[in-house]
Amino acid sequence: MINAMIDTVKIAKALSDPVRHKIMLMLAQNNQECCPVPGEVEGKTGLCNCEIMAKLGMIQSRVSYHMKELVEAGIVAEEPRGKWKMYFIKTKTLNQFLEQLRADFKLD
Amino acid sequence: MINAMIDTVKIAKALSDPVRHKIMLMLAQNNQECCPVPGEVEGKTGLCNCEIMAKLGMIQSRVSYHMKELVEAGIVAEEPRGKWKMYFIKTKTLNQFLEQLRADFKLD
DNA sequence: TAATCATATCAAATTTATTTGATTGATGCA
DNA sequence: TGCATCAATCAAATAAATTTGATATGATTA
């Protein structure tokens, strides 16, 4: 499979909102408590929408909006689990993002 | 000197605008043509405002606004050179930014 | 000093992003 | 089927970011 082009501006924008940053931290910590079937993608377990709502104390449509932004930026994967939806951090894409920045800005 | 705290959300926001991303790429390429005294910070040469305006074809106040955003995010340094102002990419801070993301998101 | 040049700042206009509450659609279960 | 649950979408409201043109500041030069 050919690597998708990394849109660094788009990913940076996804990470530039405090709510989404918190969500990413949560996803990275592999927490999952409320959903019956823990998911696994790239060796990581995921979170469902309901748990994110609970942890952040935010209403459903707000969480849904931000999850969509993260998915569209390509740094979060989603997978339906019955009427739930599990979200997973896309480690590979984030690594590519960092590599791209490293190359663009000539870092070490 | 103690390392300044890295505000990843703030830096991501700075990088999330296409104009600023272009500017960062330009700064990373060490170009400098129009200014009499090339600057040097962290081993990099810099760019003056006027050259950024010319390269991007943008008016002065617009460039000034974006440079301020980059400086306030901590990823660009500025240094007056007479009536010009030179800008430098802050490689160290960008490296710290990447390291922070790597740790936050448990990347390799 | 006066004029010029480079940049900063400001207010207004515009555009884009975020939040909310309501509604819809889809799934699972009684 | 009918009901309950979870998530997506929509429209409206709000907030934040960006752009522009005008003006101000500060340095250089004639």
Question: Closest chain A residue to B88 measured between Cα atoms?
Answer: A105
Per residue in B80-105, pLDDT tens? 888 889 899 999 999 999 999 999 99
Share above pLDDT 90 across residues of chain B, in percent, rounded to a whole number: 65
pLDDT at A44 over 60: no
pLDDT at A42 over 90: no
Q: Which residues of A touch B28 (CB under 8 A)?
A: 104-106
> What does chain B come to in residues?
108
Cα–Cα distances in angstroms (integers) from residue B24 to residues A18, A74, A102, B16, in the given order: 23, 23, 12, 11
Model-level ipTM above the cut of 0.85: yes
The confidence band for B16, taking pLDDT boundaries of 50, 70 and 90, is very high
Q: Which residues of A have a CB under 8 Å from any CB of B?
A: 8-9, 12-13, 15-18, 21, 24-25, 28, 89, 91, 94-95, 98, 101-102, 104-108
Where do the domains of chain B lie, and which CATH numbers do they carry?
Answer: 8-104 (1.10.10.10)
Average pLDDT in the B38-61 region?
74
**What's the pLDDT at B43?**
43
User: Which residue in A87, A93, A106 has the most chain B C-beta atoms within 10 A of its own C-beta, making it the best mutation to test that interface?
Assistant: A106
pLDDT at B107 over 80: yes
Per residue in A11-28, pLDDT tens? 999 999 999 999 999 999
Can you tell me which residue has the tokens 């990913």? Answer: A11
The C-alpha of B57 sits at a distance from chain A's nearest C-alpha, in angstroms, of 20
User: B80 pairs with which residues across the strands?
Assistant: B85
Strands B44-45 and A44-45: unpaired
Q: Among residues A74, A101, A44, A90, which one has the least CA distance to residue B100?
A: A101
Q: Which residues of A touch B105 (CB under 8 A)?
A: 24-25, 28, 89, 91, 94
**Environment class of residue B105 by beta-carbon count within 10 Å: exposed (0-12), middle (13-18) or buried (19+)?**
buried
The confidence band for A38, taking pLDDT boundaries of 50, 70 and 90, is very low
**What's the pLDDT at B46?**
67
Label residues B58-77 b or e (16+ Cβ within 10 Å = b): beeeebeebbebbeebbbbb
Is the minimum distance from the CB of A66 to strand C below 7 Å? yes
**What's the pLDDT at B30?**
67
